[in-house]
Structure 1
């Protein structure tokens, strides 16, 4: 395997039992993403792109084939190991932000570090630094409902970045935002990529996908590059 490939999939099949039937969602998919790339996975609803995202993000595992993340064979990992890999290797950004409403921006951002066992003071300082990096240094003590949609997504991005993950994995990151705010968020992803972050965006929006450096099309469980 090429050492530069942070994501390496070969002949990946994923299916689900539907009563007596088996629904094949991914059909012998092969995919490589190199460290430092900015890739969009583009496809309509039902194409298999969300299943592909779940496998990349170690939320789900393959039925057959091979998936390696940062050189690690993911197929052989236990649930606890997968959870640790998600926390350490991947920064997730969600369409609906998935912030804890009762907690301030800085508490939301430092949460992954506290889950790793980092001491509270160090976690706070690191969270503060990352919130400043995404332009929210003056909003650290605001709760999600006190922030605009774009600001909430910036908090979500800061939370994804705070653990220094190998990959930022964003699922429809502009889906809940107006077009202007969505453009600002995509510009932020471009800046983060220029700083060396590997970014994979899942989207059904061709205009959003065009912002990435490479587009992977998903249709009927197959991928086309």
Structure 2
């Protein structure tokens, strides 16, 4: 295995039972993402890209094949171990933001740190710095409903960064945003990548994918590298 690869997949297969039939969603996929890369995984609905994202994110596990995340073999992990890996290794950014609606931006970002046992003072200090980093220093005490869609997505990016993850995994991160806000979020990803963050972005939109440094297309359960 390449020591530089933060994501290493070899011959990944994933199938689902559909009544009496078996549907193979991923068919012997092999993929490597090096530390510091910005990769878009591009594919239409039903192509297998969401299943691939779930396996990368340790939300689901493959039926067969090898997967190592930041050097950790994922194959034989139980649910608790997978949850711990998700918490420590991956910063998730979702299309629908997934913020806690009753809490301020500051608490939303501090929350995963508090769950890990970080002291309240340290968690809130880090959350403040991250919200300032994403341009929301004036919005620390606003709740999600008091923020625009673009601002909510910035909160979720700050939250994803809070645990210093090995990868940022972004699922259609501009899907709920207008074009101006979407452009600003993509510019932020490019800045974060420039600072050394590894980013894997899942999208069905070729124009979004083109802004990444590398495009991997998923079609009919297989991957194709775009040159």
Which TM-score applies when normalising by structure 1?
Answer: 0.99
Aligned-pair CA distance for 1:77: 0.7
What corresponds to 2:132 in structure 1?
132
After TM superposition, what 4+ stretches of structure 1 lie above 2 angstroms from structure 2? none
Q: Does 1:33 align with 2:33?
A: yes
Counterpart-to-counterpart distance in 1, 2:128 and 2:81 = 29
Deviation digits for residues 38-71 of structure 1 (CA, Å, limit 9, x no counterpart): 0000000000000000000000000000000011
Indicate yes or no: 2:17 matched with 1:20. no
- Cα distance in 1, alignment partners of residues 128 and 212 from structure 2: 28
CA distance in structure 2 between the partners assigned to 1:92 and 1:153 by the alignment: 11
| Separation in 2, partners of 1:125, 1:59 | 30
1:120 is displaced (CA, Å) by 1.1
Please tell me whether residue 158 in structure 1 is matched to residue 158 in structure 2.
yes
SS of residue matched to 2:2: coil
Aligned equivalent of 1:184: 184
User: SS at the partner of 1:14?
Assistant: strand
CA distance in 2, matches of 1:78, 1:125: 33
Question: Which runs of 5 or more structure 2 residues have no equivalent in the other structure?
Answer: none
1:102 positional shift: 0.4
Task: Give the match for residue 121 of structure 1.
Answer: 121
* Structure 1 partner of 2:48: 48
Once the two structures are superposed, the pairs formed by residues 186-225 of structure 1 within 5 Å of their partners are 186-225=186-225
Quote the residue 2:145 is aligned against.
145
Question: How big is the alpha-carbon RMSD for the aligned residues of Structure 1 and Structure 2?
Answer: 0.5
Q: What's the offset of the Cα at 1:121?
A: 1.1
Aligned length: 225
**Could you tell me the TM-score, scaled by structure 2's length?**
0.98
> Separation in 1 of the partners of 2:84 and 2:42?
28
Equivalent-residue separation in structure 2 for 1:157 and 1:53 (angstroms) = 17
Task: Provide, for residues 134-184 of structure 1, a one-character-per-residue CA deviation record: whole Å limited to 9, x for no partner.
Answer: 000110100000000000000000000011000000000000000111000
Q: Using the TM superposition, give the Cα deviation of residue 23 of structure 1 relative to its aligned residue in structure 2, in angstroms.
A: 1.0
Return the alpha-carbon distance in structure 1 between the equivalents of residues 42 and 53 of structure 2: 11
